[in-house]
Amino acid sequence: MKRNTGLACACVVVALLSGCGGSDSGTSTEPVIETANETSAGTIPEASILRLDRRLDALIPIDAEVEKLAEGFVFIEGPVWLRGESRLLFSDVRGNTIYQWTETDGASPFIDPVFDGERDGLRSISSNGLTLDDQGRLIICEHGNRRISRVETNGTRT
């Protein structure tokens, strides 16, 4: 069984890596640095969009600006946008909290704590991945609890 799992994982990695190359689609893969955020020296400022492919322009306007929405977190990742609620959820992995952000209210705790077990010697204990299922329920990859959970419409986690 372990051999089959290892073989399956290897096949997935090979499939993913094979998608990294590919034929030339006629678009340049050289960095495009003629954005509104370009400095006169041609260096890329810290808060800018590095366009490695011109097709990105179809998704992000050329004059888009990077904006800091909130601060004071330890290590954030796993953002998911709740379109119908105009709300962003994201994890502070080391802060052990899932936050929500809205334009009106800013950032506030959504689930705190995510992991309520023994923390001694553990740094990354919170969720480190968020997504939505086909019914719009939040799916949480809980690093510290070593599980995947779902937030039901009544707020309980299963």
Structural domain span for residue 85 = 76-151
pLDDT tens by residue, 99-152:
999 999 999 999 999 988 887 777 778 888 999 999 999 999 988 888 899 999
Whether residues 92 and 120 fall in one domain:
yes
Say how many domains are in the chain: 2
- Quick one: pLDDT at residue 122? 73
Separation between Cα atoms, residue 136 and residue 83, nearest integer Å:
10
How much is the average pLDDT of 34-51?
62
Asked if 91 and 146 sit in the same domain, the reply is yes
CATH of the domain at 129: 2.40.10.500
Task: For residues 58 and 93, state if they share a domain.
Answer: no
What average pLDDT does range 32-58 have in this prediction?
A: 69
pTM of the full structure: 0.65
Assess whether 86 and 30 both reside in one domain. no
Residue 51 domain-assigned?
Answer: yes
> Residue 4 has what pLDDT?
43
Indicate if 57 and 107 belong to the same structural domain. Answer: no
Cα(49)–Cα(37) distance, integer angstroms:
8
The residue-averaged pLDDT of 53-69 equals 92
